[in-house]
């Protein structure tokens, strides 16, 4: 099955998530290129409950994915995340804040481990965790749906092949991922299911479907032009749609 996509994003995905970049003078260019930005509406039982605003930028040193999750009723400050990767797709820094100042966490790379620090409320002594995981481990945190797009890009770069007709994906791929807010890691499987006609904002559009599964998780993702357009979480009656 083939997934046709534009060359510019295909090049970004293959370089950032499949092949470590060489340390050339050009690679050290710090000017930013916008890879994707926008917002997702989060709907539960058909009612919009939140909005996530996101931004993915790339330069010669790597990429940065930021997210702001804001409840529709404004009952609490926005939740933010900042995920920084090297040009070879390895972790440089990750930070998550709940907006109220009551909880925040960060993840830093170590020697073949990931170090997490959690600060809760006014407690001056942080909680520290270590995970025996590669530095390339994807992060799939709470309230950051854009991180699922980055995971899908990694699957396309490492689990699929580029051809003249597009990208061909044959088998599902398994990834170990880190969920900092839950202070845990887990194995997830992502699979390209083919092209489907999807009702998006009242119009039919053909998009590539990807299924993301774990032991207690099943999400359906649809992408168009390498961009995540829709997520369906059947167990929670939840739908995430790009605005």
Span 203-215, pLDDT tens digits? 899 999 999 999 8
Report residue 57 as tokens: 């930028």
**Tens digit of pLDDT at every position of the chain (243 positions):** 556 554 445 555 554 554 334 334 444 567 888 999 999 999 999 999 999 999 999 988 999 999 999 999 999 999 999 999 998 899 999 999 998 888 999 999 999 899 999 998 777 789 999 999 999 999 999 999 999 999 999 998 888 887 777 678 889 999 999 999 999 999 999 999 999 999 888 889 999 999 999 988 999 999 998 899 999 999 999 999 999
Distance CA 92, CA 89 (A): 9
Q: Which residue has the tokens 């970049």?
A: 21
Show Cβ contacts of residue 24 under 8 Å, excluding neighbours closer than 6 positions.
none
Distance CA 188, CA 161 (A): 21
Report residue 163 as tokens: 């051809």
State residue 14's pLDDT score.
Answer: 52
**Does residue 205 sit within a domain?**
yes
Report residue 144 as tokens: 């950051």
**Does residue 91 sit within a domain?**
no
**Does residue 115 sit within a domain?**
no
**Does residue 124 sit within a domain?**
no
Distances (CA, A) of 52 to 70, 86, 136: 6, 24, 25
Choose among 225, 204, 242, 190: nearest CA to 3: 225
Distance CA 9, CA 24 (A): 21
**Does residue 26 sit within a domain?**
yes
Domain count, the chain: 1
**Does residue 143 sit within a domain?**
yes
Domain of 28, in residue numbers = 2-84+137-242
Show Cβ contacts of residue 113 under 8 Å, excluding neighbours closer than 6 positions.
130, 131, 132, 133
DSSP string, the chain: -EE---HHHHHHHHHHHTSPPP--TGGG----EEEEEEEEEEEETTEEEEEEEEEEEEETTEEEEEEEEEETT--SPPEEEEEEEETTS-EEEEEEE-SSSSEEEEEEE-SSSEEEEEEETT-SS-EEEEE---TT--B--TT-THHHHHHHHHHHHHHEEEETTEEEE-S-EEEEEEEGGGTEEEEEEEEEEEEEEEEETTEEEEEEEEEEEETTEEEEEEEETTEEEEEEEGGGTEEEEE-
**Does residue 122 sit within a domain?**
no
**Does residue 90 sit within a domain?**
no
Q: Are 231 and 18 spatial neighbours (Cβ–Cβ below 8 Å)?
A: no
């Amino acid at each position: 099955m083939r997934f046709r996509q534009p060359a510019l994003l295909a090049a970004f995905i293959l370089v950032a998530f499949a092949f470590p970049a060489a340390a050339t003078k050009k690679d050290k260019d710090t000017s930013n290129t916008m890879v994707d930005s926008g917002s997702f509406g989060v709907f539960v039982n058909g009612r919009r409950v939140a909005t996530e605003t996101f931004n993915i930028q790339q330069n010669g040193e790597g990429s940065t994915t930021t997210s702001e999750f804001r409840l529709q009723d404004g009952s609490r400050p926005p939740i933010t995340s900042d995920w920084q990767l090297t040009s070879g797709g390895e972790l440089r820094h990750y930070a998550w804040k709940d907006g109220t100042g009551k909880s925040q966490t960060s993840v830093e790379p170590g020697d073949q481990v990931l170090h997490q620090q959690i600060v809760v409320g006014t407690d001056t002594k942080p909680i520290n965790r270590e995970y025996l995981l590669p530095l390339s481990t994807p992060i799939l945190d709470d309230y950051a749906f854009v991180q699922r797009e980055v995971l899908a890009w990694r699957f396309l770069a490492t689990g699929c092949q580029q051809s003249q007709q597009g990208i061909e994906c044959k088998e599902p791929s398994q990834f170990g991922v880190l969920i900092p807010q839950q202070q845990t890691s887990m194995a997830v499987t992502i699979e390209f299911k083919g092209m489907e006609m999807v009702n998006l904002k009242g119009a039919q559009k053909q998009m590539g479907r990807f299924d993301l599964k774990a032991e207690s998780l099943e999400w359906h993702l649809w992408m168009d032009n390498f961009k995540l357009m829709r997520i369906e979480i059947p167990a929670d009656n939840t739908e995430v749609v790009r605005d």
